[in-house]
A and B are shown apart, each in its own frame.
Chain A
């Protein structure tokens, strides 16, 4: 029991800080305290998660499956601890970058920081889930906080619109997710993912319910990652939400949903020699592959036609959901490694790019047109260089981490005999170059605007530095991350 509690520490600490943060919000009404408290909380969570990450896995093996407080509903150590660190880190970066932005654009409310904490707790729960119910709770905690975050600028029509759209369509999609979980329960007789797998392997499952359930879960999760044709909320929401928050939603939120994808589909699509199951597995994989291909193409093509950088990045985030889905469609360890690697890289570059936007954004959404970036390299050379790094990494150009993420994903598709998917992915990557490089072109080769942009960094320097350092380190030494990932799956 002691060991189990040790492994639960990240979850316990985040829950503790979430609850206390909310109470302190109400009792103290002190913005600085909320800010500091949430930062302390996330640092403690990172610390405890790192601790569970390095406890020898031998102890995990000795953990008896019976008599656990968590009744085997929670997964310990391994990738769960890894993603605890990633999500808490993303939350930390977001909070650090938000302060100056929120203060300037909208009066700072201390609930903002608690909301980020709640979101992180939901994401962590997703990573820890070993049971469809826990997974669902995690997804909902995350989603509902996102609905609120999207509408955080209560006086801005766009923000409210984004929130409402997100909420309406999100609850629509959640219905399918729950229904899928229910059908899967009906088909296999359990919500525990390990038992589902063993029942599937043993052939103890209802074929039709299983397929329908998987299909509906696929639909529900596809909405969460904004995959075609469930992507349409994404550009509106990401554009309307507070910039840093949309960075957080579109990066860490997407990564968390991708983890949900891995956790579910790794278990319900096991590699076995049962001919019926192989046929079903291929069907689901094919559906995901088609979704991935459409998502990539659509996201990139639409992003081409955008003139607003924030909206362009929103579409590019749709396209990146497509890249990430390749790893799920491949359904092999290289694919999962790729998803893991790319999630981390994607959080760094997407969040970084949005933080750059938040630094120059003024008066709710102005200064975000492509033409506003003209000549940025002359007025703000450092900011332009950072943006260029993020754009190059998003475009998948070495030596930045985005390149290796794509590389692993594409390799996984080839291994899974989805050569056509790789070709589509490469073509859409090439298309995406156009608009990513377009920003760099604006920043470096165009004459500056008549009125120079102001840049207000505040604490955003720290997350920007972390993002760039991470992208370069993981781009030059990808095996630092990839080797860890191989060991998970």
Chain B
């Protein structure tokens, strides 16, 4: 009893995890203008993320020790409570929320430190940190919430912060399809996300209609406890599909992937924090949080897997030909997010979350490295204008190299474990085509990442040495790089597959053990529905084989990139581009998806709004209706006010009339 009390008291601490960044935001937002010292602002901003990080660690250790099996709900404040609908701020302590909280605050803290160096001298230094703290607050609300509504608040909040930070340098030019300013890119991200949010809102309505609650735990129990009453029902498929629409928006999947590459208009730390490590994984979080609902909707799972696969593949192919260092990384992010959705789609929730974590490490690192390069190259982002930076920025180079190895899936780097687990899950669930396409995407990944590395750091110097003097970045920037590099290299050992770790432990996959209580119900549903006993702890010969194959794929990608771009004239890739001009252009223009959307959705919408909705419908019908109603109401008012004669006898007469009517009503009802 005492022990439980202590634990509950302890978990109350979770309130402070989102509260502290909020305080940081308020301090910086309200007084930042008057703080002249960048060091003070940076310290406040970083501390506001560091303290929650420490708290998360404490909670994490406690959860590991206690091994709680069901989430602990910590109510903070009940906003509205009317009958069934109860809107409250309450947080949920469980393995999933704390893991995400660790990633967000941990990586977030490093990126805050990095930003002190990167944003040095910017005229809106305090505004930047205020937004970052606000973002962390919203993101923590998103993942720690115990109900859909608070998650939605965070979901919209991170969208807002993303908007504010993409357009942070709002007066700068930025190139894209029909985009000239960074503000346009911010608008694009915001508007595209609205489509997804629409799906999320409808999904919430349907959930409330179906389960009479918006609490994760209540919904989960109701859905899982229904003994397959909900399995494969239309309503659950609808809910999950709509929710997934929301995820495609936030996590930049097909068909809503188009915003993420343009989101690179923001400062690079923003790209690292929001558009690589944390916000874009919100979609994965949402599905993982509602794993039971998705497990009950096998059709949706299939859709999730296919969309993820398509995104992983197509984004990887686009990445092959891009020349902007951040764009390459952006498409790589889209592609890696696709991998995560494959994992979720085939029911390997742990693998998906695992990849979120490792991806946060290596992609955060890649972006920060890219930022370091951009910083050193005086805002040059075109990799064709770089080369040979290895000797100028050794720390950046080494850390970037580690991250590249990790993302390419070189054994024993973090990306190897997580990506391989995803591919193996897809294969072991019987989707060998998925494995094949995924492996191809992995091959492309290895290729374009080494192309990037090669063009940026190796070879001859293609920049103008008179104007550009590359230099290593300051310590505030390189230290986060080093820490992330260590994590990228070693982070994978948290999730050693059984096939590799069986010799020293019966449960070598620490992360899977840790997350087991969260996904237990969903896994049970999937295994019952597919009549398959979870094959978990058997060593398959195929698994070793596939590991070997994917390592081979990665190595061949690296080899090819090395070969192509070692010669100074890039003769092979140039020849390829020339011979396959159509394909090359298609890839270079990102499959013309943007143009397609403009032609089919945006332009017709604008045109209809302008010519019909505004000039005809609004002016003639709506205005006419409103004015007509207004005139009628006024007329009624004018008529009724005539009853008010001002003569007290008349009032008494009307009163008497009313009394008679009421009494008459009573009499006839007797």
Contacts and interface: CB of A to CB of B under 8 A. Distances in A.
A341 to B, nearest CB: 11
Interface string A294-324: 0000100111111000000000000000000
Contacts of A434: 630, 633
A219 B630 CA distance: 33
B217 to A, nearest CB: 21
A151 B580 CA distance: 95
Interface stretch (B369-377, B423-431, B662-670): B662-670
Interface residues of B, number: 33
A133 B224 CA distance: 58
Contacts of A411: 82-83
Interface stretch (B94-102, B268-276, B467-475, B643-651): B643-651
Given A165-B648, A283-B669, A176 B630 contact: no
Contact of B641 (A208, A218, A283, A302): A302
B664 to A, nearest CB: 10
Interface in B611-670: 630, 633-634, 636-638, 640-641, 643-644, 646, 648, 650-652, 654-655, 657-659, 662-663, 665-666, 669-670
Contacts of B638: 305
Contact of B81 (A223, A306, A482): A482
A431 B669 CA distance: 33
Contact of A334 (B83, B644, B646, B657): B83
Given A169-B655, A212-B663, A228-B658, A478 B634 contact: no
A165 B78 CA distance: 47
A236 B645 CA distance: 10
Contact of B658 (A208, A230, A478): A230
Contacts of B596: none
Contacts of B651: 165, 169, 232-233
B79 A478 contact: yes
A305 B82 contact: no
Interface residues of A, number: 46
B172 to A, nearest CB: 35
Given A208-B670, A211-B666, A304-B634, A483 B78 contact: yes
A235 B643 CA distance: 12
A327 interface: no
B646 A229 contact: no
Contacts of A274: none
B637 A483 contact: no
B670 A211 contact: yes
B641 A404 contact: no
A269 B666 CA distance: 15
B80 interface: yes
A165 B558 CA distance: 96
B662 A219 contact: yes
A230 B637 CA distance: 18
Contacts of B659: 176, 219
A479 B662 contact: no
Contacts of A208: 670
Interface in A218-234: 218-219, 223, 228-230, 232-233
Contacts of A431: 633
B648 A169 contact: yes
Interface string B347-367: 000000000000000000000
A420 interface: no
Nearest to A208: B670
A283 B638 CA distance: 33
Interface string B70-90: 000000011111110000000
A305 B631 CA distance: 11
A223 B655 contact: yes
Given A212-B663, A302-B644, A172 B655 contact: yes
Contacts of B646: 236
A95 to B, nearest CB: 30
Contacts of B78: 479, 483
Interface in A226-283: 228-230, 232-233, 235-236, 279, 283
Given A229-B657, A230-B658, A411-B82, A235 B644 contact: yes
Contacts, number: 98
Given A305-B638, A434-B633, A479 B81 contact: yes
B639 to A, nearest CB: 8
Nearest to B654: A229
Given A223-B655, A229-B658, A215 B663 contact: yes
B644 to A, nearest CB: 6
A229 B653 CA distance: 10
A287 interface: yes
A414 B138 CA distance: 35
A231 B73 CA distance: 51
A198 to B, nearest CB: 24
Interface in B39-79: 77-79
B648 A304 contact: no
Contacts of B655: 169, 172-173, 223, 229-230, 232
A382 interface: no
A168 B648 contact: yes
A477 interface: yes
A415 B83 contact: yes
Contacts of B648: 164-165, 168-169
A215 B644 contact: no
A301 B640 contact: yes
A275 to B, nearest CB: 14
A371 to B, nearest CB: 17
Contacts of A334: 82-83
Contacts of B669: 211, 279, 283
Nearest to B88: A479
Nearest to B657: A229
Given A215-B663, A232-B655, A305 B634 contact: yes
A483 B665 CA distance: 37
A172 B633 contact: no
Given A169-B652, A215-B662, A232-B651, A477 B79 contact: yes
B633 A232 contact: no
A304 B633 contact: yes
Interface in A167-211: 168-169, 172-173, 176, 207-208, 211
B640 A298 contact: yes
A408 interface: yes
Contact of B637 (A232, A235, A303): A303
Given A287-B665, A305-B638, 13 more contacts: A168-B652, A172-B652, A172-B655, A207-B670, A211-B666, A212-B666, A215-B666, A219-B662, A230-B655, A301-B640, A302-B641, A408-B82, A478-B79
14 contacts: A165-B651, A176-B659, A215-B662, A215-B663, A218-B662, A229-B658, A279-B669, A283-B665, A301-B640, A302-B640, A302-B644, A304-B637, A306-B641, A482-B81
Interface of A: 164-165, 168-169, 172-173, 176, 207-208, 211-212, 215, 218-219, 223, 228-230, 232-233, 235-236, 279, 283, 287, 298, 301-306, 334, 404, 407-408, 411, 415, 431, 434, 477-479, 482-483, 486
Top 4 A-B pairs ranked by shortest CB distance? A229-B658, A305-B637, A304-B637, A232-B651
